[in-house]
Amino acid sequence: MYLPPPGRVARRSILRRALAKMPLGGAGAAELAREFAVRTEGFTGADLQSLCQKAVLAALSRRSAVSVHDDAAAEAAAEAAAEVPAVRREHLDEALQQTKPSVSRPMLERLEGWARSLGGCNRASPEDDDLG
């Protein structure tokens, strides 16, 4: 059975759910999901989850070092380090530069041709499910 990558509407839904589970700075989950759904054509659900995980890692790597001078400050710094920092659009941009679709366009075309030859996959493009 062949399942094509999610279209834009499905990617937006996947991203909105993944982003809603993480602290965001700036734009909200719905706005970011809408923007990045357009920018992630050909991504699978797993690719989108990877994108979000890499965005969290980018946010963590940008966290500035805290100078610690006493025990209370050290304890506060340890508590702050345990918290996931806010993920921002620039973290998603960085993650998108590092994340590519796991299925190439030529592979996708071969799979769709194979599925059509077996009587399935009547959808011409992964974007056809976009209702608006």
48-101 pLDDT, tens per residue?
999 999 999 999 987 744 445 566 665 665 565 567 789 999 999 999 999 999
Does residue 22 contact residue 84 with C-beta atoms inside 8 Å?
yes
The whole model's pTM is what?
0.74
Within 13 Å and on the Cβ side, how many CA atoms surround 79?
6
Supply the pLDDT for residue 123. Answer: 53
| DSSP assigned state of 24 | B
